[in-house]
Amino acid sequence: THLFEYTNPTHKSFGQIKNLIKLRIKDQYLQSWHENIQSSSKSRFYRIIKGEFEIEPYIDILPTKYRIPLTRLRLSSHRLPIETGRWNNTQLAYRSCPFCTDKSLGDEFHYIFECENTKAERYTLLSKYFRRHPNTFKANHLFNSRKKSVLINLTKLTISIDKLF
């Protein structure tokens, strides 16, 4: 008999206790993960497109040549003004798109959904649903699509954006 059985009136088995501890550790990690995403200046776009702590569908759907550029964009491993400005400690308001006259923030959302310089590629590669009245819900829907053709077109747009910088 285990000492724990004498001190715990519910008489949980070792396996049950182990599972409870695992669940508690996982819950604490997920809470920390959500907190880090919410507080990080680097994860502005990531928190729009990433809702759950799980492997993204595109990992299994796309071949490597498409998966890598999309992953780089998702993780802010690129040279868009939003990121290069962070490297240089440039204030957020000054990390603007060099192609647009309205001084729009040069972030991932802007280049995928709004920038005049990527308009032709956007119209060729994204459906009308994503182009009309873009918002964070549509960005999340686009990046979490399970349709291979949608993800390949998104990656092609990502590659064309990357070539600008």
Give the torsion through C-alpha atoms of 56, 131, 149, 65, to 10 deg: -60
Round to whole Å and give the CA distance between 60 and 147. 11
Query: What is the tens place of the pLDDT at every residue in 62-97?
Result: 999 999 999 999 988 999 999 999 999 999 999 999
Q: What is the mean pLDDT of the chain?
A: 88
> Does the pTM exceed 0.85?
no
* pLDDT, position 139: 96
pLDDT band for 26, please (50, 70, 90 cuts): confident
Residue 120 burial class via C-beta count within 10 angstroms: exposed 0-12, middle 13-18, buried 19 and up: exposed
